[in-house]
Amino acid sequence: MKLVDTKQINSFASMADQANFETLEIPVSEFENALKDTISLYNQLAEIIKDCGIIRGRELGRLTTKAREGIQAARSPCEQLLLVNAFSKQLLARIRPALMDKPQAKGIIRQAITKIQLRAEAIIEHIKILAEGREKVSLTSPQARQFLAGREGGPISRRDCIRALKRAEKICPPLVYGHLGDGRATTRLIARTHELLYVSIGNDSLRQRG
């Protein structure tokens, strides 16, 4: 989501109002990254809630639409950040009762999250290998399905493959997910090699600077 008036991060109030409080100046890029990360967290929570069946269909659609419209209507980037945090807390508040009502669901939820995550990480490692010696690298959804099927020893549904590709984009910022435009709804991940090979995921670095 694009920030509103990002060049005025340190000038939200009028000059008269600003005299009554201290102004904090930070690089625009750092604030943009913080907001993007927070929005990404919200999207991941919404995806987890959907995958685990806690909220689905129209109800989830209403929640995410309300969040999107509220963030877009915010008067400043700081207000956007506060709203994303508030909407994320709303989703978290729906997860706890679901786990308490269905204790047996804990293992199912963890298994679902872990499976998507592991597939995404495997895709990132595979793309890293493909990127060696290239300026740019891409992996289409059919190629990803074939790779995952060979790795797991069984067929992978298109839906599960798409989830893994989208998760890979979220945990590895240099990767960009999009449609190939071939008329067959084929999707792909693309990245610039020099950006991809030095990204860190969790505590593991894909490549150490040498």
The predicted-structure confidence for 40-62, as pLDDT tens digits, reads as follows 888 888 888 887 778 777 888 88
Q: Regarding the domain delimited by 114-205, which CATH topology (the fold level of the hierarchy) does it fall under?
A: Arc Repressor Mutant, subunit A (1.10.10)
- Where in the chain are the domains? 6-101, 114-205
Band (pLDDT 50/70/90 cuts) for residue 111 is: low
Give the model's pLDDT for residue 20: 57
Q: Check whether 140 has a pLDDT greater than 90.
A: yes
Measured CA to CA in angstroms, residue 46 lies from 8, 65, 68, 100, 104 at distances of 31, 12, 12, 19, 21
Segment 67-97, tens digit of pLDDT: 888 888 888 888 888 999 899 898 888 887 7
Residue 93, Cβ density class (10 Å: 0-12 exposed, 13-18 middle, ≥19 buried)? exposed
Give the model's pLDDT for residue 110: 53
Q: Determine if residue 132 is left, alpha or beta; phi over 0 gives left, psi from -120 to 50 gives alpha, anything else beta.
A: beta
Measured CA to CA in angstroms, residue 198 lies from 38, 177, 180, 205, 208 at distances of 22, 19, 26, 7, 7
- How many percent of the chain have pLDDT more than 90? 16
